Chain A
Amino acid sequence: MNAGSNSSLTIETPEGVEFSYELASPMLRALAWMVDVAAIAVLTKGADKACEWLHSLNPDWAAALLAILYFVISIGYGIVLEWRWHGQTLGKRVVGLRVVDAQGLRLQLSQVMLRNLLRLVDMLPAVYLVGGIACFCSRNCQRLGDLAAGTVVARVRTPRAPDLEQVAPAKYNSLLAYPHLAARLRSLASPDAVSMAVEAVSRRDGYDPLARIDVFRELAEYFQSLVAFPEGAREGLTDEQFVRSVLRVIYGGKRAG
């Protein structure tokens, strides 16, 4: 139930507290890049249009301005946006990614510039082949520019509470009759497993019936392996109902009865 070692970057502070960034996969980054390519295309088209009026006055200066604008847009797009939007370009915003310092410190302008300038090598020989291979090979999914600049691309987490009434309605919860076991479950269950259970409950109606039974059986077995509730607490509960009761316990449910 634990995430793979390459999917997150954990940083331990001098105070001994750990926090982590969920790293963006190469596929997500490719998706963000496609949006950025589209945005750059729109900007260059806009530059093209803007130079049209100058063309009637002086074709030479219009062509020069256009050549410079193309160059500035292609190099400056990433630098300006990542700097102004704290590590995000339009594509990264859409996909929910952010460039962060690999040591958890404040992202510096020099880091943003370096990772964007070194993109020239990452893009070689075409469609980010070098950068993509580097991403797959590096521990923290970093392209060469990220390695040199000391940055990683992380997923933006927007912590929001799940809709408990939808995933685990506040009905009678037999597990809460055992507050010490409920508290033990709350402290032992891994956050990844809990998130997975929330996802599973939210999407349960979309599952194939057999898959639905399998998913909830596995989740129920996992939670049962952490804390062994007495038979009475699980009596008459399907695996799915048990998982929903577990979620109510974890997110702070009312007492039984």
Chain B
Amino acid sequence: MIIDLARFVAAERAYWDELHGALAKMEAAPERRLALGEIQRLHYLYERCSSDLSRLDTFATEPQLRAYLESLVSRAYAEIHETRAPARIRWKKAVLEFPRAFRRHPGAFRLAVGVTLLGMAFGWFALKVDERNKAVLLPFSHLLIPPSERVAQEEHAKEDRYQGVKATFAAELMTHNTQVTVMALAFGLTFGVGTLILLFYNGVILGAVVTDYIAGGQGVFLAGWLLPHGSIEIPAILLGGQAGFVLAGALIGWGDRTPRVERLRAVAGDLVAIVVGAAVMLVWAGIVEAFVSQYHQPVIPYGLKIAFGCCELAALTFFLGWVGRE
């Protein structure tokens, strides 16, 4: 069969133009629901253009026309075969998606907690073996002085050392911790090895600090200092680790015969929901750390700070564990 290109174009152009117009409307307003008649017509036009492309592939070689039809067919294909919901941000759904995504991957979260606990145990062990390891394990100068000395300094401070820099400090904490959380997710691409190292290292620091302060008899100060922001910040970083392990799991695909592309596609939404949720938590944690955690007795009683931290932890547990259950 030989195609008469000029006649072919003249006969089909109206259908191509119609499909182009329909697609332009759909792309401009992706959330619009089509009527049954419109869907049928779109499907007809898609099939007609596909058939035209197929005829052109076989019987003619005009590259511009082929490129035009390929672009039409690819756009129509994307609209017709897409089974995922149209992209529209619904805030209520977006908020509920976070705890739902968290609950869909309990194994990855348990692994993140386990690795962090292992890191904490290592931190404890390293300090028990030799106290001089503190200088290596703790990267912050204010943690290197003996706990009792620091508590005395904090409780008898005459002036507010964060005066005039509180907001800047909060912003730095927010951005830094969000970066760490995103890195915990991104390192999932190293088949989870990077995520594992990052969580373990975080655990080592935390374990060393906790050991140091408890051994120094400053457990109450430690709880009052860490709980207000740590009850949100530490789970947020664990959530980043959870996302990293979910990503690694999809890459590795143990015992899953689904193609890798499909496995990654299946978890993409959950990864984003978890990391965005964790980032929002870190904004709160940053504010609390700058404006509450750094103030100690007598400015803010330890009991109040500990109670505040416990309330936050309970609220977070309720949110992640129960909100949005169907």
Residues in B neighbouring A15, C-beta threshold 8 A: 47, 50
Report B-chain residues with C-beta under 8 Å of the C-beta of A63.
165, 167-168, 171
Sample of 9 further A-B pairs with CB below 8 A, known A105-B77, A110-B268, A114-B271: A19-B70, A63-B167, A64-B170, A108-B269, A109-B89, A109-B272, A121-B186, A189-B61, A252-B6
B310 at the interface (CB under 8 A from A): no
Please give me the 5 A-B residue pairs with the lowest Cβ-Cβ distance, nearest first: A64-B167, A64-B171, A191-B63, A183-B2, A67-B171
Asked if A205 lies at the interface with its beta carbon under 8 angstroms from chain B, I say no
- Interface residues in B156-179 by Cβ distance below 8 A to A read 164-168, 170-172, 174-175, 178-179
Interface residues of B (CB under 8 A from A): 2-3, 5-6, 27, 30, 47, 50-51, 53-54, 57-68, 70-71, 73-74, 77-79, 81-82, 84, 86-87, 89, 164-168, 170-172, 174-175, 178-179, 182-183, 185-187, 189-190, 194, 247, 251, 261, 264-265, 268-269, 271-272, 275-276
Task: Report whether A187 and B61 are in contact in the complex, using a CB–CB cutoff of 8 Å.
Answer: yes
* Chain B residue contacts of A16, Cβ below 8 A: 54
Inter-chain contacts of B178 with A (CB < 8 A): 71
Residue of A whose beta carbon sits closest to that of B273: A110
Q: Which residues of A contact B70 (CB under 8 A)?
A: 19-20
Answer whether A103 and B261 are a contact pair too, CB < 8 Å, given A60-B164, A109-B89.
yes
Contact of A117 among B77, B167, B186, B190 (CB under 8 A): B186
Contact B87 A195 (CB under 8 A): no
Q: Do A114 and B268 contact each other (CB < 8 Å), given the known contacts A63-B167, A106-B82?
A: yes
A188: B residues at CB distance < 8 A: 61
**Taking the complex as formed, is A186 at the interface, i.e. its CB lies under 8 A from any CB of chain B?**
yes
Q: Contacting chain B: which of A37-45, A159-167, A208-216?
A: A159-167
- A sample of 24 cross-chain residue pairs with beta-carbon separation below 8 angstroms, ordered by A number, consists of A13-B73, A19-B74, A64-B168, A64-B170, A67-B172, A71-B174, A86-B27, A102-B261, A104-B81, A105-B77, A105-B82, A109-B89, A109-B272, A110-B269, A114-B272, A117-B272, A120-B182, A147-B189, A147-B264, A159-B64, A159-B65, A183-B2, A189-B61, A190-B61
Q: B251: which A residues are within 8 A, CB to CB?
A: 148
Residue pair B53, A187 in contact (C-beta under 8 Å)? no
Interface centre among B61, B71, B77, B251 (most CB of A within 10 A): B61
Q: Which A residue sits closest to B185, measured CB to CB?
A: A117
Known: A64-B168, A109-B87. A194 touches B268 (CB 8 A): no
A interface, CB within 8 angstroms of B? 11, 13-21, 59-61, 63-65, 67-68, 70-71, 75, 83, 86, 101-106, 108-111, 113-114, 117-118, 120-121, 144, 147-150, 157, 159-162, 180, 183-184, 186-192, 194-195, 198, 250-252
Q: Is the CB of B67 within 8 A of A157?
A: yes
The one of B167, B247, B268 that contacts A108, using a Cβ cutoff of 8 Å: B268
Chain B neighbourhood of A162, CB < 8 A: 64
State whether A17 and B182 are in contact (beta carbons under 8 Å apart), knowing that A64-B167, A251-B62 are contacts in the complex: no
Contacts of B276 in A (CB 8 A): 113
Smallest Cβ-Cβ distance to A196: which chain B residue: B63
* B29, chain A: closest CB distance, angstroms: 13
Closest to B68 in A: A159
**Closest chain B CB from A47 CB (angstroms):** 13
CB distance A111 to B268 under 8 Å? yes
Q: Which residues of A contact B64 (CB under 8 A)?
A: 159-162
Does A67 lie within 8 Å of B186, measured CB to CB?
Answer: no
Q: Which residue of B lies closest to A113 (CB)?
A: B272
Main secondary structure of the interface of A (DSSP, over half): helix
In the complex, chain A residues whose CB is within 8 Å of the CB of B172: 67
Query: Given that A106-B79, A160-B64 are contacting pairs, would A60 and B50 also be in contact in the complex, using a CB cutoff of 8 Å?
Result: no
Cβ–Cβ < 8 Å partners of B82 in chain A: 105-106
Chain A residues near B167 (CB-CB < 8 A): 60-61, 63-64
Contact B189 A150 (CB under 8 A): no
Residues B74 and A104 in contact, CB atoms below 8 Å apart? yes
Residues of A within 8 A of B247 (CB): 148
Distance of A111 Cα from B82 Cα, bound (Å)? 14
Q: Are A101 and B63 in contact (CB under 8 A)?
A: no
Contacting residues, chain A, for B166 (C-beta < 8 A) = 60
Q: Is the CB of B264 within 8 A of A250?
A: no
For B187, give its contact among A17, A65, A121 (CB under 8 Å).
A121
Nearest A residue to B186 via CB reads: A121
How far, in angstroms, from A5 to B182 measured CA to CA in the complex?
34
Choose one: B53, B87, B171; the contact of A17 (CB below 8 Å).
Answer: B53
Question: CA separation between A148 and B246, bound complex, in Å?
Answer: 11
Q: Which residues of B contact A195 (CB under 8 A)?
A: 63
The residues of B that contact A60 with a CB separation of less than 8 Å are 164-168
* Contact between B275 and A117, CB atoms less than 8 A apart: yes
Are A71 and B27 in contact (CB-based, < 8 A)? no
| Complex CA–CA separation, A83 to B30 (angstroms) | 12
Shortest Cβ distance from B27 into A: residue: A86
B241 CB to closest chain A CB (Å) equals 15
A121 touches B189 (CB 8 A): yes
Q: Are B50 and A150 in contact (CB under 8 A)?
A: no
Closest chain B residue, CB of each to CB of A117: B182
